[in-house]
Amino acid sequence: MPVIGFLGAGTASVWSQWVAAFVQRLQELGWTPGRNVSIEYRWAEGRSDRFTEIAAEFVRLKVDVIVTSGTPTVAAAKRATSIIPIVFATASNPVGTGLVASLARPGGNVTGLSLQQTELAGKRVELLRELIPGLRRLAILTNVKSPNAVLDMREVQAAASTLGLEVIPFEIRQADDIALGFEALKGRAEALYVPSDPLINSNRIRINSFAVRARFPTLYAIREDVEAGGLMSHGPNRLDLYRRAADFVDKILRGAKPGDIPVEQPTKFELVINLTTAKALGLEVPPTLLARADEVIE
């Protein structure tokens, strides 16, 4: 029975929807966990030091394929093995970060789905400006230990500057920094942009609670952060990406080489707005913006 090693950068509860989408698609393709395939789950719980440990464990277990998400976890898996196939459900700029040689011909033992996260940063800031026309000062909450988050932060800073916004960096390295950061931001910002990464995902409810208390509208890339109380998100549909990751695994388990499977890009993008959070913040969402939303949470 082939074994899939699933390296989750966050927690099982936060990733439950994505895992369910991945497993459901596997079953549609003929792979039923416990019957003709086994899945070993390991959770790093937002701790980057765990990525290397888990990857090394999967190598010792001799799993048939490693599934993960996010550039740091993919890089850790790639350092651990050049033989075991690695499939990433999401990764920002996989060519630029050296995960693959090219999108069309990845080469090596890595393939998966590339996020267009940084390219969307400008669009997100424009959406926030549309929601808050008088916006002048934008804080960016960034886990500076995450290369993807730092890249996203820089793109947002550039987009915000173009729109004449003052940017206030809000840098964290661990969960304990979140409360201190919000305290330091009091009276200095009017909205908050939050680049996605495992540490942020694992603390999304806490972050949103602080943001509502501080009267900060929040902008995310992931809909699940808005479902957890954030205000608005715009980005690829993660459930779709995890379903498509299962197609990659299916091909590999049936004999395809990861280096020959082209890296794909997102095809489904969505704008999600949480009206409950908007009301808590005293914000009136423009009807034109609501009309463009793929989902409105009430």
pLDDT (tens digit, 9 = 90+) per residue, 251-266? 999 999 999 999 999 8
% of the chain beyond a pLDDT of 70: 99
Asked if 99 and 75 touch (Cβ cutoff 8 Å), the reply is: yes
Query: Is the same domain home to 133 and 92?
Result: no
Q: Provide the domain limits for residue 61.
A: 3-116+238-268
Instruction: Spell 103-117 as b/e; 16+ CB within 10 A means b.
Output: eeebebbbbbbbbeb
Query: Is the same domain home to 107 and 191?
Result: no
Query: Is the same domain home to 202 and 110?
Result: no
pLDDT of residue 49: 87
Q: Give the chain's domain count.
A: 2
CATH of residue 191: 3.40.50.2300
Query: Is the same domain home to 71 and 136?
Result: no
pTM of the complete model: 0.82
* Sheet with strand 232-236: strands edge to edge: 166-172, 137-143, 191-193, 218-220, 232-236, 269-274, 295-297
Task: Name, in order, each residue with C-beta under 8 angstroms of 83's C-beta and a sequence gap of 6 or more.
Answer: 109
Query: Is the same domain home to 146 and 280?
Result: yes
pLDDT (tens digit, 9 = 90+) per residue, 108-163? 999 999 986 556 888 899 999 999 999 999 999 999 988 778 888 988 999 999 88
Query: Is the same domain home to 29 and 137?
Result: no
pLDDT (tens digit, 9 = 90+) per residue, 60-112? 999 999 999 988 899 999 999 999 999 999 988 899 888 999 999 999 999 99
CA–CA gap between residue 264 and residue 160 (Å, rounded):
29
pLDDT of residue 119: 65
Query: Is the same domain home to 112 and 173?
Result: no
Query: Is the same domain home to 99 and 125?
Result: no
pLDDT (tens digit, 9 = 90+) per residue, 196-239? 888 888 899 999 999 999 999 999 988 989 999 999 999 999 89
Query: Is the same domain home to 103 and 174?
Result: no
Query: Is the same domain home to 133 and 63?
Result: no
pLDDT of residue 118: 57
